[in-house]
């Protein structure tokens, strides 16, 4: 048995000005920028309400897109569950696995990021 849930929405930006992109998404979504955000950051996590899905603006070197992060207390079991549903592994990293859904969308599976995971995550057997 393990648990999982949606953890993050990550907006991938192929840009040399991540702060500009973060300011746009901050204003568009009504999620403030954190005080400590820096121009040199690889990603900027916007401020969301406690318990809400996190929104992250991330600098990438591929086409712009958005992807989801699924958080879990067992990456291995969650990857196995998702493979049975038709997803495939793209790469394994230290602390997360990149997967691809049957639709072609990429997403990540990693450890829990936000509060109330034990109380709110889906339980799988």
* Cβ-Cβ contacts under 8 Å for 65 (sequence gap 6 or more): 12, 106
pLDDT digits (tens, 9 = 90+) for 18-72: 999 999 999 999 999 999 888 778 999 999 998 899 999 999 999 999 999 999 9
pTM, two decimal places: 0.89
Domains of the chain: which residue ranges?
2-113
Rounded CA gap, 5 and 38, in Å? Answer: 29
What does the pLDDT look like over 64-113, one tens digit per residue?
999 999 999 999 999 999 999 999 999 999 999 999 999 999 999 999 98
Residues 6 or more apart whose CB falls under 8 angstroms from that of 4 comprise 70, 71, 72, 73, 78, 81, 109, 121, 122, 124
Note the pLDDT of residue 87: 98
Rounded Cα distance between 73 and 86, Å, is 21
In 3D space, the residue among 98, 99, 110 whose CA is nearest the CA of residue 72 turns out to be 110
Locate 68 and state its tokens: 């989801």
Identify the pLDDT of residue 37: 82
| Superfamily of structural domain 2-113 | 2,3-Dihydroxybiphenyl 1,2-Dioxygenase, domain 1 (3.10.180.10)
């Amino acid at each position: 048995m393990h648990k999982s849930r949606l953890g993050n929405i990550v907006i991938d930006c192929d840009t040399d000005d991540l702060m500009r992109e973060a300011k746009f998404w901050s204003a568009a979504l009504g999620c403030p920028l954190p005080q400590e955000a820096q121009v040199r950051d690889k990603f900027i996590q916007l401020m969301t309400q406690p318990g809400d899905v996190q929104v992250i603006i991330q600098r990438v070197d591929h086409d712009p897109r958005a992807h989801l992060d699924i958080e879990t207390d067992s990456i291995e079991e969650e990857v196995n569950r998702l493979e049975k549903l038709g997803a495939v592994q793209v790469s394994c990293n230290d602390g997360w696995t990149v997967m691809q859904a049957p639709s072609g969308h990429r997403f990540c599976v990693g450890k829990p990021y936000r509060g109330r995971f034990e109380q709110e995550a889906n339980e799988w057997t």
